[in-house]
Amino acid sequence: MNARKKVICNRLAVLRAEKKWSQKLVAEKVGVSRQTIISLEANRYNPSLKLAFDLADIFEKDINDVFQYVEEE
């Protein structure tokens, strides 16, 4: 049996573009560095639970609309 690895993916770049917000602005709104937002958008970094909820909150979305736990392709 070959188990597939699951990963956390996000829609941050799409949501940010819809609002016409810069990475810097998003970072300032949630109190992290711009580099953190860059890493999140590239799926190189998984947010803490608090940061994930903070990001969902600023976009006025449910956390499941921002982050998904999916099987890696």
**If you average pLDDT over residues 52-66, what whole number do you get?**
97
Cα(13)–Cα(2) distance, rounded to whole angstroms?
32
Query: Poorest-confidence range of 17-21, 31-35, 43-47?
Result: 43-47
Rounded to two decimals, the pTM is 0.88
Contact 33, 27 (CB under 8 A): yes
Q: How many residues belong to the chain?
A: 73
**If you average pLDDT over residues 3-30, what whole number do you get?**
95
Cα(24)–Cα(69) distance, rounded to whole angstroms?
26
The predicted pLDDT at position 26 comes to 98
Domains annotated for the chain, with CATH where assigned, are: 6-71 (1.10.260.40)
Could you tell me what percent of the chain has a pLDDT over 90?
A: 81
Residue 2 has pLDDT above 80, yes or no: no
Q: CB-hemisphere CA count at 13 Å for 14?
A: 8
